[in-house]
């Protein structure tokens, strides 16, 4: 399922170029265009099944497990053996800018202990 006005759907469809670092049947991951750490990768479901974490239910939650498995594999392949951070911004107060659920993988340096 693809939403025509969604930038991440266009990336998943190959209509907008991206620096892809991971792909499987359901998930793709690409370098964030405005990196906030030496390694900053965005993981998305290929299909626009969820707009935000607020849409997760018992019935559709498997894709979240798929994404976390993809994150773990990618962290390993990118050499983040010393640790990393996973972030999901949800909704207006969470400062989510792209309404296609995604998780940020950040690492490659000691990250700040606080975000506010
Ligand atoms: P969020 O603010 O959590 O919705 O995250 C959206 C992220 O997508 C931001 O970190 C943006 O820098 C990133 N982003 C937006 N457009 C692109 C793009 N074309 N390629 C890669 N990353 C993008």
Q: Which atom of ligand 1 is nearest to the CA of 88?
A: 3
Residue 116 lies in a domain: no
| CATH assignment at residue 61 | 3.30.428.10
Q: State the total domains in the chain.
A: 1
Residue 115 lies in a domain: no
How high is the pLDDT of residue 116? 65
- Please, what is the Cα angle at 90 between 54 and 79, to 5 degrees? 115
Ligand 1 lined by 18 (C-beta under 6 Å): yes
Q: How confident is the model at residue 2 (pLDDT cuts 50, 70, 90)?
A: confident
Active site residues: 102
Q: Which domain holds residue 83?
A: 7-107
Please state whether the predicted TM-score (pTM) of the whole model is above 0.85. yes
Residue 112 lies in a domain: no
Residue 94 lies in a domain: yes
The answer on pLDDT for 90 being more than 90 is yes
Residue 20 lies in a domain: yes
User: E strands along the chain, which residues?
Assistant: 20-23, 27-31, 39-45, 85-87, 103-107
How high is the pLDDT of residue 26? 97
The answer on pLDDT for 115 being more than 80 is no
């Amino acid at each position: 399922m693809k939403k025509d006005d969604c930038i991440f759907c266009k990336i998943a469809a190959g209509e907008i170029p991206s620096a892809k670092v991971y792909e499987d049947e359901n998930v793709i991951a690409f370098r964030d265009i405005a990196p906030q750490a030496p390694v900053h990768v965005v993981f998305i479901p290929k299909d626009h099944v969820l707009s935000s974490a607020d849409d997760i239910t018992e019935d559709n939650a498997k894709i979240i497990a798929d994404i976390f498995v993809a994150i773990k594999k990618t962290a390993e392949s990118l050499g983040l053996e010393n640790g990393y951070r996973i972030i999901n911004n949800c909704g207006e107060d969470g400062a989510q800018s792209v309404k296609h659920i995604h998780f940020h993988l950040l690492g490659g340096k000691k990250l700040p202990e606080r975000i506010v």
